[in-house]
Structure formats: C-alpha cells, structure tokens
Amino acid sequence: MEKVLLHCCCAPCSAPIMEWMLNNNISPTLFYFNPNIFPSEEYLKRKEECIAYAQAQGIDFIDGDYNHADWLAKVAGLEDQPERGTRCLECFKIRLKATAILATEKGFSLFTTTLAGSRWKSFTQIVEAGNWAASLVTGVQFWEKDWKKGGLTERRKILLQENQFYNQQYCGCEFSIRGGK
C-alpha cells in the first residue's frame, strides 16, 4: 500500500479524499497545518472534526503548530488581495512548505493537499505552491491531483450530510470572511 502525507484543511474536504485513497490502496496520513484559520475557535472546531473523522477511519493524524501571528506576518501587505490572488498563493506556499518538510522528516515520498478539492481555490496556484514546496526538499514529490474531479465533489456533499460535518463558509482567514468565501 502506497503511503501519502495528506495536508488537510477540514473534515468536509478531507473525507471524500481519504475515502478515495483507501479505496485505491493508498494509505493517507493527515497533516493538519492551517495557521491561516481565524479565529482560534474556528481553527479548533475544524481540527477536532478532522481528528474525530480520521480516528473513525483508522487514519493517522499529525497536528501542526498553530501560529496565526506568524502567518499574518508572512502575508503582510497582501490583506487586500482578492480571493485567488497573491495572498492565497503565499498561504498555500506556507502550508505546503511545512507539509513537504514533514514528509521528508517522516519518510514520505509523496504529499498532496485537500485544498485541491475546494471550489473556492485555484488549482493552478495549489499546483504551483506544491511543486515549489517539493523543490525545497529532497526525495519528496507533490501529487498534482485535482480532488474536485471523478465524482469527489458529489461525494463530499453526501459525506457532509451523512456525518453532519460543520460546513464552514470561508477558507479560514479573516480576509476571506470579507469576501464571503
């Protein structure tokens, strides 16, 4: 069984991807690293739901550090960028760099992200950030899979209802709240 480090953002986005991986002889380990999420109560709500679902599926979970102040400093000057703008690309780079580094440390040769399953995010930006992050480490590759395809968007809706997941209406950062996504 192939092993993959799966950066995850929330249970609704993670569930269909985890299910797909398990059904395709791939063993994911979830990595929850989302310093962008604001406020901290939102961060914890999403994290706890991811942990509970991963445990129910028998999937390992790694909890990343939450340092929102550091994230704010790294995106300073990009606050007024629109969704899918430069701020989002920088945010993806921050999160996927941490994922690539962890993949190297834990012996994974492949990583991907549930961000590529979001209808609100640019797949092109996610691929750019993932490949950039992989280029910073040795022996790790970014899996450029568009998790919106192959029926996974529809499966997300079903799993969301079946599990009564909390369905957030913004990506997580305070700047996306203004934009309603």
Question: Domains of the chain, with CATH numbers?
Answer: 2-179 (3.40.50.620)
Provide the pLDDT for residue 118. 87
21 has a pLDDT exceeding 50: yes
pLDDT 10s digits, 38-49:
999 999 999 999
**Residue 67 has which token pair?**
């340092």
pLDDT 10s digits, 91-132:
999 999 999 999 999 999 999 999 999 888 999 999 999 999
161 has a pLDDT exceeding 50: yes
CA distances from 22 to 13, 19, 27, 120, 123 (A): 15, 5, 6, 25, 23
- 39 Rama class: left (phi>0) / alpha (psi -120 to 50) / beta: beta
Q: Look at residue 169 and give its three-state secondary structure.
A: coil
